[in-house]
Structure 1
Amino acid sequence: MGIRIQARGRTDTTTGVALMLGSGLSTQTGASVAALAFPVLGPVGVVAVRQWVAAAVLLSVGRPRLRAFTAAQWRLVLALATVFATMNLTLYTAIDRIGLGLAVTLEFLGPLAVALAGSRRRADLVCALAAASAVVVLTRPRPSTDYTGIGLAVVAACCWAAYILLNRTVGARLPGLEGSATAAGVSGLLYLPVGVAVLAVHRPTAAAVLCALTAGVLSSAVPFLADLLALRRVPARFFGVFMSVNPVCAAVIGMLVLGQRLDTASWAAVAVIVSANAVAVRGS
């Protein structure tokens, strides 16, 4: 019996790791596919389509009872929706300007800040200093440096930090996925007039729309379901640590799909930020 339970535990862990890796690859592949539609739809048009896909998926799964929400719960949902919408727009615009690997790496400063906030461990101080040094390397002045793109990626990082904190609160005050699903729905509504206007000005092609829809599925639906299944098989702390591989996935996929190459110093900085995230999340 003991051997059977241990074998099942190893199988669950292996499956969980495969799901987490698939989630990360799906998210970053979706972002790279989205970038292919930027020349036609622009980041705003692609984000609008992605938000609509996310809203459709989460609303169908969460099935929120909107009439039961209190005013206080609605305020939290609206705040989460605003942060969600801003996070995706700033990230995708940053990807368009500075590339997938750099944008996603800088965005990961958000969860790193949440993990380090309030910590007094010496190891976390080392993580913070190492991450700061890595950011200096990534954003060092060069003739091609796009400071607007870097600034947008940092805004996306701030939004992700706020998203984590708000999502915890919403999850505690609303049952199941009702809060997150409603926030996704509201975010989709916010992008409805903007998306329609963008699609009216930038005449979409079938290929661009297909890329945007594919990005929505790969970056929203697939990771959501994969993460949900993974969390049933691995501890939440292990899940948080493993999420740190996303910048590496983004850099590799950006190189393979979009031809965006990082120099050796930038690769080293990405590795430092990934390591800092892993240590900080494990410690928190």
Structure 2
Amino acid sequence: MMGSGLSNQAGAAVGALAFPVLGPVGVVAVRQWVAAAILIAAGRPRLRCFTRAQWRLVVGLAAVFATMNVTLYAAIDRIGLGLAVTLEFLGPLTVALLGSRRRIDLVCALAAGCAVVVLTRPQPSTDYFGIALALLAAGCWGCYILLNRTVGKRLPGLEGSAAAAAVSAVFYLPVGAASLLAHQPTVEALMCALAAGVLSSAVPFLCDLLALRRVPASFFGVFMSINPVCATLIGMLVLAERLDPASWLAMAVIVTANAVTVGSSARRERSSLAA
């Protein structure tokens, strides 16, 4: 699980190194193509057998997936890896809070809200558009979780995710091609984009698959909360990013709120199944 988190954020940081040459859209396009190749090989979707209703879900999941990645990478380009990933984690936090009536979850929601205010507080260097992109990525991640659950119920195994990755890759063919033609890619930039695809798609996919065979899904969900910390540390090491003490504290509050909420949500699910 630690390897998955570190690889995912390291891939984003390496991809960010190619932004000056390829731009965020070009890097995301290459990453989507790599992800599609990996998931199609793993899931082997039987596309001709999909019904119209299944295709609607797949296309919706693909659109959310494509939007989530491009808005996250555009946010990384503007506000940095650590802040962008921390704000993006509000997506799964919101999903975990939906429908909750527990007092602890309300406290977590209020704490996370205050932390967001601290992270986005007005400063001379505040990039509000970058913050908006990160929050849009958070919304897309929340939608991705909900859609993925539905797709998982309607399609066996990895077929739904693989098909969505393939459709997303098709979405990016004209956009990615135009971006690559406009930016005149170098070999180094292309290698960074390919590395981002492998590190942020192939390695986390394999690590998560192996981890979920060994640990409960609830513990896995809580442990995923380390991703903002990994992103911030890797951003410091690779991209020379820095956060002030108040931002570190706010990030810690969001990570804690996410961990507590996901953990309590998993316990509620187990209790309802037992009943």
TM-score, normalisation: structure 2: 0.96
In the other structure, the counterpart of 1:129 is 110
Match of 1:94 among 63, 75, 78: 75
Name which of 103, 108, 111 aligns with 2:89. 108
Q: 2:43 aligns with which of 48, 52, 62?
A: 62
Q: Deviations over 1:195-251 (max 9, x none)?
A: 111111110000000000000000011001100110000000000000000000000
Structure 2 CA distance, aligned partners of 1:111 and 1:175? 23
Q: CA deviation at 1:157?
A: 0.1
**Residues 137-176 of structure 1: pairs in structure 2 closer than 5 A:** 137-176=118-157
How big is each residue's C-alpha offset from its partner over 1:148-178, in whole Å with a ceiling of 9 and x where there is no partner?
Answer: 0000000000000000000000000000000
> 1:252 & 1:202 partners in 2: Cα distance?
29
Residue correspondences, number: 265
| Superposition deviation, residue 67 in structure 1 | 0.9
Counterpart residue number, 2:270: none
Letter paired with 1:246: N
Match of 2:272 in 1: none
Which residue, out of 220, 229, 232, partners 1:251?
232
Counterpart of 2:273 in structure 1 is none
Given the alignment of the two structures, is residue 80 of structure 1 paired with residue 61 of structure 2, yes or no?
A: yes
Which residue number in structure 2 is paired with residue 23 of structure 1? 4
Partners in 2 of 1:40 and 1:248 — Cα distance? 27
Secondary structure class of the residue paired with 1:119: coil
In structure 2, the partner of 1:4 is none
CA apart distance, 1:25: 0.1
Matched, 1:224 2:205: yes
1:241 matched to which residue of 2? 222
Q: What runs of 5+ residues in structure 2 fail to find an aligned partner?
A: 266-275
Shift of 1:127: 0.2
**Distance apart, 1:111 and its partner CA:** 0.1
| Whole-Å separation in 2 of the counterparts to 1:189 and 1:72 | 20
Question: 1:125: Cα distance to partner?
Answer: 0.3
Which amino acid in the other structure matches residue 182 of structure 2?
A: V
State the AA in 2 paired with 1:186.
V
Question: What does residue 262 of structure 1 align with?
Answer: 243
Task: Tell me the amino acid that sits aligned with residue 197 of structure 2.
Answer: G
- The 1-side partners of 2:169 and 2:106 are apart by 39
Letter of the structure 2 residue corresponding to residue 273 of structure 1: I
Which of 247, 253, 258 is matched with 1:272 structurally?
Answer: 253
Q: Which amino acid aligns with 1:99?
A: G
Alignment correspondent of 2:268? none
Secondary structure of the equivalent of 1:234? coil
2:192 aligned with 1:211: yes
Separation of aligned partners in 1, 2:48 and 2:196: 32
One-letter identity of the residue aligned with 2:245: T
Q: Which amino acid aligns with 1:136?
A: V
**Runs of 4+ more than 4 Å apart:** none
**What's the Cα RMSD here?**
0.3
Q: Report the TM-score, using the length of structure 1 for normalisation.
A: 0.93
Letter matched to residue 63 of structure 1: R
Partner residue, 1:194 = 175
Which amino acid in structure 1 is aligned with residue 228 of structure 2?
P
1:103-156 deviations in Å (ceiling 9; x for gaps)? 000000000000011000000000000000000000000000000000000000
Task: List per-residue Cα deviations over 1:229-278 (Å, max 9, x = no partner).
Answer: 10000000000000000000000000011000000000000000000000
